[in-house]
Amino acid sequence: MSGEVPASRIEQLFELAVSSKLLLIGREALRRNKSHLHFVLIATDIIANHREEVLADFKHYPVVQQFTAADFERLFQIKGAKTVGFAKSDLAKSIYAELKPHRINEPLHPSKKPDAP
């Protein structure tokens, strides 16, 4: 036996996402690639202003808040990032299904308009 602790299901999915190059790292990359975006994951230690900016910029996408920036570094091998996105794919759907309980917004559908007063 190697003595390694088995990775959790979400960690295994993250490993696949990294190797499949499905990650979009940082808010600018997410803005440039909205047409490819499935959902956004932000760190729990993101500053409040940036959190609100992400929620406003990506109001049409699910935004999940889970893990710290240190966790992002460990899980995704990225340093200093507090915002990542996942490109549309079946793998992204599986990851989102695991993280959905941590969603912090209700995505707006572009075709729906707010009710008039």
The four Cα atoms 40, 46, 50, 51 give a dihedral, to 10 degrees, of 60
Both tokens assigned to 54 = 């992400």
In percent, the amount of the chain with pLDDT more than 70 equals 87
Both tokens assigned to 38 = 């499935």
CA distance 19 to 50: 28
The residues, ordered by sequence, that sit 6+ positions from 13 with a Cβ below 8 Å of its Cβ are 91, 94, 95, 98
In percent, the amount of the chain with pLDDT more than 90 equals 83
Separation of CA 56 from chain center = 15
pLDDT 10s digits, 77-102: 999 999 999 999 999 999 999 999 99
Q: First CA to last CA across the chain, in angstroms?
A: 66
Taken in order of first residue, the domains within the chain and their CATH numbers are 23-102 (3.30.1330.30)
Please indicate whether residue 90 or residue 1 has the higher confidence score (pLDDT). Answer: 90
